[in-house]
Amino acid sequence: AGGEEETETSLPAPMFSRNTISVFSILKKCIGQELSKITMPIVFNEPLSFLQRITEYMEHTYLINRACSLSDSTERMQAVAAFAVSAVASQWERTGKPFNPLLGETYELIREEQGFRLVSEQVSHHPPVSAFHAESLVGDFVFHGSIYPKLKFWGKSVEAEPKGTITLELLKHNETYTWTNPTCCVHNIILGKLWIEQYGTVEILNHSTGDKCVLNFKPCGMFGKELHTVEGYIQDKSKKKLCVIYGKWTECMWSVDPQVYESQKKSEKKGDVHFDRNKPEVDRAVNDDADDMPDVQETVSVVPGSTLLWRIDPRPAHSSTMYNFTNFAMSLNELEPGMEGILAPTDCRFRPDIKAMENGNMDEASQEKERLEEKQRAARKERAKSNQEWSTRWFQSGTNPYTGSQDWIYSGGYFNRNYRNLPDIY
Ligand SMILES: *[C@@H]1O[C@H](CO)[C@@H](O)[C@H](O)[C@H]1NC(C)=O
Ligand SMILES: *[C@@H]1O[C@H](CO)[C@@H](O)[C@H](O)[C@H]1NC(C)=O
Ligand SMILES: *[C@@H]1O[C@H](CO)[C@@H](O)[C@H](O)[C@H]1NC(C)=O
């Protein structure tokens, strides 16, 4: 599995047009509620499970490898910060909803050329919780977490708050970093053009010292000046700013000396008008018009003396007819010859609804999705009848040793490939 072979960079079929479907009637009744119980037409999905969407964090694993190789601790933190931003960059223009994983569903990915392997499992259905564990193939790092996406419908937009801690351990440096992803918002779900915004403060903590990196994903604000902007700094334990980090999560991230940055900003500010950029989402939901994406140039103005930390890879040419997937995303359903006999039978790649959608068979996808959900409900009823508890297979509920928060910890053994007694979920 994985290996050096060329990975798939195209899907079997382009996506189905959504233009003819009105969601208004479905969503009108649900303002302010959690979305997890509302059934949306499958045409709003993308042919990936949420477990695969999480795996996209690994697209820029080279940044973790870079962090491992650096001897300067501030430079390591810079690489980790760039990784944390790059991990959410694949969300850009991805308005398709991933499939909700079924309880017990798993996903694995081995990438020898990027030097990691990953396993994930859907460990809870209500509330939905996805746990993942990735490790370096040469023992340099471990990267793990559990994500509880909390969805809120705000009339014109859907907000996904990714609750749950992400932990990165750089083993040779004895360093552990933890953070939580920013909130992701999809605008204009009823009318107008769909677009994506991410906002919130991401704090990356170095648990060996208490030093931290604070990254502010800015809301675009009324005039859109700050659309996609990320700005922050790294400070040591005495709160001294060591460097400023800035850029756009859709484009690139830079670091620069704090004094250089401040003096640049001061000279730019002269003549600038002040306005409130932190207008909350709820306010925007009151009128009926679409909230159009502000028309701004997608470029970061680089402060002289800055160092480039990360730049996004261009999407493939056919991306726009394929759910705006990156090359990495396009490869996630790939079943290489020989893999079928090796993978756990619970792997997302065997989900018939996702496969049908990927092949462009929307009716089949919709029927299969319904069938799987019904099968899951029936299995739950059976367990309730016989007083059986669901037991997770590869992860155990526990406490994150660094943050003290509730987390799911990998119990090991997945890659021994003993897949007897796995539940029949498809
Ligand atoms: C993180 O913690 C390590 C281990 O104590 C320390 O050597 C390093 O200076 C810290 N680095 C940063 C950037 O916080
Ligand atoms: C892909 O991006 C384009 C350009 O922004 C956008 O119009 C379209 O709705 C996006 N498609 C999906 C499936 O998110
Ligand atoms: C890492 O921590 C362990 C246990 O605290 C210690 O034995 C080891 O010497 C440390 N290694 C480094 C490189 O600091």
Tokens 């002289």 map to which residue?
Answer: 304
Q: What is the structure's pLDDT at 356?
A: 94
236 ligand 2 Cβ < 6 A: no
CA of 115 to the centre of ligand 2 (A): 32
Residue 389 lies in a domain: yes
Closest CA to ligand 2's atom 5: 93
194 ligand 2 Cβ < 6 A: yes
Which of 194, 298, 322, 326 is the best mutation target for the ligand 2 pocket, counting ligand atoms within 8 Å of the beta carbon and taking the most? 194
CA of 249 to the centre of ligand 1 (A): 25
Residue 258 lies in a domain: no
Residue 13 lies in a domain: yes
240 ligand 1 Cβ < 6 A: no
User: Over its length of 426 residues, how does the chain's per-residue pLDDT go in tens digits?
Assistant: 334 444 557 788 777 666 545 555 555 555 555 555 556 678 889 999 999 999 999 999 999 999 999 999 999 999 999 999 998 898 888 888 899 999 999 999 999 999 999 999 999 998 899 999 999 999 999 999 999 878 787 777 778 887 888 999 999 999 999 998 888 887 877 777 777 788 888 888 888 777 899 999 888 776 667 778 899 999 988 899 999 999 999 899 999 999 999 988 888 776 554 444 444 434 444 455 666 666 655 588 889 999 999 999 999 989 999 999 999 999 999 998 889 999 999 999 999 999 999 999 989 999 999 999 999 999 999 999 999 999 999 999 999 999 999 999 999 999 999 998 899 999
- Which atom number of ligand 2 is nearest to the Cα of residue 324? 1
- Which atom number of ligand 1 is nearest to the Cα of residue 242? 13
93 ligand 2 Cβ < 6 A: yes
198 ligand 1 Cβ < 6 A: no
Q: For residue 173, which ligand has an atom nearest its CA?
A: 3
Closest CA to ligand 2's atom 8: 93
Residue 283 lies in a domain: no
- Assign 3-class secondary structure to 211-246: EEEEEEECCCCCCCCCCCEEEEEEECCCCCEEEEEE
Q: What is the structure's pLDDT at 248?
A: 92
Query: How distant, in Å, are the alpha carbons of 41, 46, 150, 293, 385 from that of 365?
Result: 11, 11, 25, 31, 30
- If one counts the domains in the chain, the total is 1
Q: For residue 241, which ligand has an atom nearest its CA?
A: 1
Q: Which helix (H) or strand (E) holds 357?
A: helix 352-358
Q: What is the structure's pLDDT at 336?
A: 87
Q: What is the structure's pLDDT at 223?
A: 65
Half-sphere exposure of 51 (CA within 13 A, CB side): 30
CA of 62 to the centre of ligand 3 (A): 24
- Residue 47's contacts (CB-CB under 8 Å, 6 or more residues apart) are 11, 99, 323, 333, 354, 355, 357, 358, 365
Residue 251 lies in a domain: no
Closest CA to ligand 1's atom 14: 211
Could you tell me the residue range of the domain that residue 51 belongs to?
Answer: 4-197+309-415
75 ligand 1 Cβ < 6 A: no
Which of 73, 240, 402 is the best mutation target for the ligand 1 pocket, counting ligand atoms within 8 Å of the beta carbon and taking the most? 73
**Short-list 119, 150, 152, 112, CA closest to 134:** 119
CA of 418 to the centre of ligand 2 (A): 41
C-alpha dihedral sign at 218, 230, 158, 288: positive
CA of 320 to the centre of ligand 2 (A): 6
CA of 423 to the centre of ligand 3 (A): 41
Residue 181 lies in a domain: yes
Residue 245 lies in a domain: no
Cα 425 to Cα 106: distance, rounded to the nearest angstrom: 11
Residue 108 lies in a domain: yes
Residue 358 CA, distance from chain mean position = 20
187 ligand 2 Cβ < 6 A: no
403 ligand 1 Cβ < 6 A: no
Which of 77, 78, 168, 208 is the best mutation target for the ligand 1 pocket, counting ligand atoms within 8 Å of the beta carbon and taking the most? 208
Could you tell me the pTM of the whole model? 0.85
